[in-house]
Each structure stands twice: as C-alpha cells, then as structure tokens.
Structure 1
Amino acid sequence: MMRSASRQALAAVQEHQRSVVGDQASADTLTTLAEELYAVAGLLVAQPRLRRTLGDPATDPDGRAEFVGRLLQGKIGDQTLDVAREAVRQRWSTPFDLTDAIEGAGDDALFAAAEQGGELTRVEDELFRFERVLQADGELTGLLDEFTADPARRNELLGTLLEGKVSSVTLALLRHAVTSERKRSIVLAIDDLLEQAAARQERSVARVVSAVELTDAQTERLASALSDTYGRRISVRSAVDPSLRGGLVVRIGDEVIDGSIATRLAGARAMLAG
C-alpha cells in the first residue's frame, strides 16, 4: 500500500493525465496511451538504476522531467511523454511507487476507453467474475502466475479462455496483468483493477458472495446499507457459492464481513470440539 506522499503524487498524476487526454479522446487514442505507459513502466522495472534515478526525491523535479524527456522523446506519443514527465516530477515514497503509478495510469486510460463506450460497468463485472473463477481454480491461477514460463504462453492461455467472451478492454487489462514485468499474482492484480475502476467513479466496490443469486432489489438494498454504514458510495459485485449454505460474505478492500452459515457452523463445531 502506498504511503501518504505517494498517494498524493498518484492523485496528481491521475488528474494531470485526465486533463491532458480530455473527455473526447477516442478509444484508439486511449488504448495507445495505455500501451505506451505500460511500456514505460516495464522499462523502469527492467532498469533498477533508471528507476532509482527518476524516483529520487532528493534531485530536482524539473531535472528529472527533462531527463525522461530526452530519454523517451520520439519513442512514445506526446501525451504519454507529458504524463511520464508529470509522474517523475512528483515526490514518491519509493521508486517502485513511481512504477506503480505509471502502470496505473495505463490502466486508467483503458478504463477511460471503456467509459467512452459505455462499458465500464461491464468491464468491472467481467473482472470480478474472472477473479471468482481463479479463486475456485487453483491450477488455472498457478498457470497464469507461473512467472518462469514464457509470458507469451500465459498471454496465449488467457486469449484461449477469454477471446470473444469479454470486452476488448477487459482482455487488454488482463493480458497486461499476466505479462507485466512487476510479476504480481493475477488475483491481486484484479483486486487493484477493481479498486481503480470504482475510484474512477468516486465510489468503493463491495465483493459479495452468497449461497444463492441475489435479486436486483436485494443488491440495491445491500448497496444502500453498506453506503450508509461506510459513509461513501459503494457498489456491489456479487457471485454465487452454494457451499456457503446461506448468508453472505462481503469484502470491501481489506475488510471481510463473513455472515455465512458455513462459517457459523464451523465455529459451532469448533466450540463443541473444545
């Protein structure tokens, strides 16, 4: 988790990127921006010395921006370079936070493309449901997290599973997640993506698992109750797991509220055994 200084820097980069891109950018423009930002982040991961140089808060911010301009001029688009310059001007708690921010800016560009096409809710839902598939299938998760394997093979596996079944933005986000130089677990990467999508809409997301499918009315009531409890807008992404037997498991960020019958029964058994 980023410290306060890096969180402020990240917010500044995101605001700058949105002002640079504007509201009328095409999906192709946003996709290109994302791909180029991912490439910049990959460069920083692959070159630790460069990452430390650009993320060093003791050096002159404008000097860092000038340096990255000389390094990348003509290799990436003007908008991407503008965002990269703004990112290295910021004060980061660690150089890795700079890398995370640039990669996150790429994610944000893809979410903007989904928003332009009216598909942001669909993308969120597809990410959530694929995360549930991975949580239930350890073998598949292991294959996608096999960082010693050729990234192209993981990418090919993902395409075989999802090509034509999810939106192009969802697939692009997941393709990057499994091939990123940062080598994060795919489930953790999806968690971050879901939080980003929610934050883009100035809300939080609750991941809800129930024994039976929730009705629209139940989902709305739950979202309203959670929003009142937490004092901010919360949307619900729900999935079904019959093994819960009844009740709900709700996760918001790192907080888990487990009201499932299965957990209560397990607790009762433990008490009886004791």
Structure 2
Amino acid sequence: MNGASRDALSAGRDRLDTLTDSTSVDAVRLADELAAVTALLDREPSLRRVLTDPAQPGEAKAELVRRLVGGQIGETTLDVVSGLVRARWSQPRDLVDSLEQLADIADLTAAEKSGTLDDVEDELFRFGRIVSSNTALRAALTDRSASTAAQAELLRRLLGGRAKPATERLVVRLVTAPRGRSLESGLESLSKLAAERRDRLVATVTSAVPLSDPQRRRLGDALAKLYGRRMHLNLDVDADVIGGIRVQVGDEVINGSLADRLDDAARRMAS
C-alpha cells in the first residue's frame, strides 16, 4: 500500500485509536462490525469502486454508506467507515484491506484494555508453530471446499478455553475469511500488529534448548539497545540448532548458532 492509500489508512488508525480511548466504546463490537463491512465490500467490487471513486464527493460517499449499512452497525463503526470513504485511495482494494486491518486492531485494542495483549501475541506465535508442524491441521484449516462454519467450530474446539478470546476471534476470522492470504502470512501480520500496539518490534528466537528467564531478559535488553525499540521475543526450540541461538527481526537474521557457523565453515572450505 502506498501514496494516498497509506495516508488514508494512517488517518483511519488515528481515528480508531481516538475512539477506542473512550471507555464507552466496545472494541469487540467495533471489530466485529468492521469485519462485517470488510466482508460486504470484498463481495461487492462495484460498491468498493464507487466508494473509492475520486470523482465522487466524500460526503456523498459517506451518505451512501449510511444508507446501506447505517441500520446494521453502530455509530462508532459508522464514524470509522465514513472517514475512510471520504479519503482518497490509490486503488479500491486498499479500502477493503484497511478495513480488515482496523478490525484486527480493534480486537487487539480490546486485548490491551483487558491486560491480555502479551498473551495474545504469544498465542498467535504458538498457534502458527502448531499449524506449521501439523500438516493435517493446516490442510483442514486451509481447505476452501470446507464450510466456514465447520472451520470455525474446529478452531473453537482447539482454542476454546485454552486461548484468550481475542486470539480466538482473530484466528477464526483469518481462517474463515483469508482474502487471499496464506495462513502463515496472516498470523505473521497479526503478530506484527500486536507488537505495534506497544510500540515494539518482534524477534523470533530459535534455540536448541529453552532459554531461562534471565537469558530472555538479557537478550531482550540487548536487542532493544541494538534496534532502539522495545522488543517482544517469540521463542522457539529446535534441536537442529546445535548451540547458540538464531534471531530474526523482520527480514534481518542475526545468526549465532553453532550449526550455522559450521555450515559457513563448510561452504568456505568448499569454495
């Protein structure tokens, strides 16, 4: 997303934050309603073209939204959606992507208000690891011939009572309405959004054995100093990492594992 669309999304996020700062706003309801509008515009390409047409006045587009969905969503959600359609967009699809992202942020905001955001971050990461290691589960969750109701029920059996409500809502929405995203990329995006709620980066740390609490703290402090941002650590254990650790922050890999150093030595000898 770039240009006008990036600016429109930024303004939408600012407006969402302002609204959810109020204790009277139900962030969970807001997330559900934004997701419903996302689904509507995803199904109706002609409607999203009208709502992103730069030749149409912003107020006229906001009024169209009110007539179409005003009786089905609350005033807070209508405020957010109306602000988005008044903005300029580089392409119609960006409006739908932005609505989807705002729905996810609203659910993460609800988790933040309830003091469970750290748990949600960890659960999203762990769920991604479970899916990547279980081919049968991944196949069931990505089977486009399966009904969304069946997939949602499967997830509720897996997560119900074991994960925070926000985690369950986010994962169910991702699986039942992927909108072209892979399950892995969707979970990664959700993890990044969760980290952004606390203005911190995400580091995926892989070690041969679990790190102790003091090791986690020292590593977190060192990475925060290196990147100038607070850091959330997603911890993974892989016996193939013979010694040391492997840290990935975004696209950057900090490789301190013995296995990788041996591989590097073998490549240098071969060359």
TM-score, normalised with respect to structure 2? 0.91
User: Contact between 2:20 and 2:109, CA under 8 Å: does it hold in 1?
Assistant: no
* Superposition map of 1:107-146 within 5 A: 107-146=104-143
Amino acid at match of 2:18: S
User: Quick one: percent identity of the two aligned structures?
Assistant: 43
Mark the CA change 1:258 to 1:72 in structure 2 (over 3 Å): closer, same or farther. Answer: same
2: CA distance, partners of 1:263 / 1:6: 41
2: CA distance, partners of 1:56 / 1:260: 52
Aligned residues: 271
2: CA distance, partners of 1:256 / 1:138: 26
Secondary structure at the residue paired with 2:210?
coil
Q: Deviations over 1:205-264 (max 9, x none)?
A: 112121111122222222222222222222222121222222222222233333333333
The alignment status of 1:160 with 2:157, answered yes or no, reads yes
User: Contact between 1:31 and 1:109, CA under 8 Å: does it hold in 2?
Assistant: yes
Quick one: which of 25, 32, 36 aligns to 1:35? 32
Quick one: which of 189, 203, 206 aligns to 2:200? 203
Q: Deviations over 1:67-97 (max 9, x none)?
A: 2122111111111111111111222222222
1: CA distance, partners of 2:264 / 2:143: 35
User: Which residue in 1 is equivalent to 2:5?
Assistant: 6
2: CA distance, partners of 1:137 / 1:153: 18
Q: Deviations over 1:164-210 (max 9, x none)?
A: 11111111110101011514212111111111111111222112121
User: Which residue in 1 is equivalent to 2:81?
Assistant: 84
Mark the CA change 1:68 to 1:4 in structure 2 (over 3 Å): closer, same or farther. Answer: same
1: CA distance, partners of 2:250 / 2:92: 24
Q: Which runs of 5+ in 2 are unaligned?
A: none
Secondary structure at the residue paired with 2:240?
helix
Mark the CA change 1:173 to 1:25 in structure 2 (over 3 Å): closer, same or farther. Answer: farther
Mark the CA change 1:60 to 1:255 in structure 2 (over 3 Å): closer, same or farther. Answer: farther
Mark the CA change 1:7 to 1:211 in structure 2 (over 3 Å): closer, same or farther. Answer: farther
1: CA distance, partners of 2:14 / 2:267: 51
Secondary structure at the residue paired with 1:242?
coil
User: Which residue in 1 is equivalent to 2:257?
Assistant: 260
Mark the CA change 1:17 to 1:155 in structure 2 (over 3 Å): closer, same or farther. Answer: same
2: CA distance, partners of 1:143 / 1:257: 34
Secondary structure at the residue paired with 1:207?
strand
Q: Does 4-13 or 172-181 show the bigger shift? A: 4-13
Following superposition, the deviation at residue 18 of structure 1 comes to: 2.1
Q: Deviations over 1:108-154 (max 9, x none)?
A: 11111111211111111111111121222233223212223212222
User: Contact between 1:45 and 1:181, CA under 8 Å: does it hold in 2?
Assistant: no
Quick one: which of 49, 69, 73 aligns to 2:70? 73
The alignment status of 1:20 with 2:19, answered yes or no, reads yes
User: Which residue in 1 is equivalent to 2:169?
Assistant: 172
Secondary structure at the residue paired with 1:147?
coil
Q: CA RMSD in A?
A: 2.0
